[in-house]
Amino acid sequence: MSRLGRALMVTPAAAVLVAAGTATVASAATGTPSGAPPSGATCVSTTGAKACFAAYGDRVWVKDTKANGQSAAGTIKSKLPAHWGRECFNNRGKDGGWVMCNFDVPENQKGELWAVNNPFIGSQAYTEILTSDLA
């Protein structure tokens, strides 16, 4: 097997970025167990997943909402012309509760928050976000 093939098997997030042919700077993490996101966080849901984003601290929460054996993910990504993305995975199952990832993203940028069930091929939905807590 080629080196590229082995690398893609080890890092599924990289496989998606390579397959999509993007120049996006991406980071993926498995979330740590946490409580629910704070009130005021921006949230989006799809069948099997819910994701929330809090601009203060650049935090993403993900909850698996369907007992289907698939993981859930919350993704934040920039809109053009910026090129960055962060992905938080919840592999704990429906009864595993919320997980949280603490990222560092550029401030004052428009982006999107995605909730995804069965990354990278399952149900998904998104909403727009701003990466600053400007009240």
Judge contact between 64 and 72, C-beta under 8 A.
Answer: yes
Residue at 18: amino acid letter:
V
Confidence (pLDDT) at 119: 87
Sheet holding 84-90, edge to edge: 25-30, 84-90, 72-78, 110-117, 124-130
End-to-end CA distance of the chain: 53
Hey, CA dihedral for 4, 9, 12, 15, is it positive or negative? Answer: positive
The two three-digit tokens of residue 39, written as one number: 């009130």
Tokens at 71, concatenated: 């993981």
Tokens (6 digits) for 31? 């979330």
* pLDDT tens for each residue of 60-113: 999 999 999 999 999 999 988 888 999 999 999 999 999 999 999 999 999 999
The strand pair at 84-90 and 25-30 is best described as parallel
- Over the stretch 3-45, which tens digit does the pLDDT of each residue have? 434 333 333 443 333 333 344 557 899 999 999 999 999 999 9
Q: What are phi and psi of 67, to 5 degrees?
A: -80, 85
- Is-contact 44 115, C-beta < 8 A? yes
Residue-level pLDDT at 121: 87
